Amino acid sequence: QIDYTGTEPSSPCNKCLNVSWDSTPPCTCTINFTLEHSFESNVFMYYGLSNFYQNHRRYVKSRDDSQLNGDNSSLLNPSKECEPYRTNEDKPIAPCGAIANSMFNDTLELYRIDNDTRTPIPLIKKGIAWWTDKNVKFRNPTGDGNNLTALFQGTTKPVNWPKPVYMLDSEPDNNGFINEDFIVWMRTAALPTFRKLYRLIERKNSFQPTLQAGKYSLDIAYNYPVHSFDGRKRMILSTISWMGGKNPFLGIAYITVGSICFFLGVVLLFIHHKYGNRNTSADIPN
């Protein structure tokens, strides 16, 4: 888990602290870190934000599900919920609304440093969204699927975005509304501190861990300003077991509750032995 917000002056990302949404060229910084243990199975790469109220009522409502679902009329005439991110210069915004407008747009790249040579780690950007979202909830406007530019004709990009929605990715099945980064962002978090899946790192073969212990560096294209609301940004690498990621709370809670149950069981057994026989005869049968 690496915090790259850069509030401390010593942080390499400190210089980027006050970037704006669309600074070009993007402010970049590099953070070096060391993995103590190697990651054996598939690794999930998350970005985490803090103090970001994605559950604010007006924020949550500020989207048009019909538009995102590929409805052509909604595309050109987005829902009023999207105000004030509904139109820009008399053109409808696609995708409209505050959620889309505030999409996380840092770019993270991971390198393994081995004897001063930087080997890029392949990051898989597909398969990070729910199947339902990718195939049902989010769909590009109907029409010629190969020419997204034409489909989004007549709309404009969200104010804070550097490029329009049909240029999010080069692959056609990951572009437009069905771009998975976009989908992940649009699945709003329940709590102000949250993490979202960014990339997958797949294990290539069974002889070699996914990420060996050693030195790594994280290259960040720092576009997303959080300093203004005292937010924090993090990058998290984690593996996942059958019951999800590392979760100390759940473990502690289970052990505690289990102990309490055991203790209560013993106490009740004791009470039962001491006082229980007294009124077995007086049980009220129905």
Question: What does the binding site for another protein look like in residue numbers (CB under 8 A)?
Answer: 44, 46, 48, 53-58, 60, 65-66, 69, 79, 130, 132, 136-137, 184, 187-197, 238, 240, 242-247, 249-250, 253-254, 257, 260-261, 264, 268, 271-272, 275-276, 278-279, 282-286
CB of 27 to another protein, least distance (A): 26
CB of 92 to another protein, least distance (A): 17
Rounded Cα distance, 142 and 74, in Å:
12
- Residue 62 or 105 with smaller CB distance to another protein: 62
CB of 115 to another protein, least distance (A): 34
What would you report as the CA-atom Rg of the chain, rounded to the nearest whole angstrom? 25
Q: For residue 254, what are the CA distances in angstroms to 238, 259, 263, 265?
A: 22, 8, 14, 16
CB of 118 to another protein, least distance (A): 28
Which amino acid is residue 104, in one-letter code? F
Q: Do the beta carbons of residue 62 and residue 82 sit within 8 Å?
A: yes
- Residue 36 or 283 with smaller CB distance to another protein: 283
Exposed / middle / buried, residue 215 (Cβ in 10 Å: 0-12, 13-18, 19+): middle
Which amino acid is residue 257, in one-letter code? V
- Residue 130 or 171 with smaller CB distance to another protein: 130
- Residue 163 or 272 with smaller CB distance to another protein: 272
Rounded Cα distance, 5 and 11, in Å:
8
Rounded Cα distance, 152 and 167, in Å:
11
CB of 28 to another protein, least distance (A): 26
Q: Do the beta carbons of residue 180 and residue 191 sit within 8 Å?
A: no
- Residue 197 or 220 with smaller CB distance to another protein: 197
User: Residue 89's CB: how many other CB atoms inside 10 A?
Assistant: 7
- Residue 197 or 211 with smaller CB distance to another protein: 197
Q: Do the beta carbons of residue 202 and residue 42 sit within 8 Å?
A: yes
- Assigned token pair, 24: 């070009």
CB of 47 to another protein, least distance (A): 11
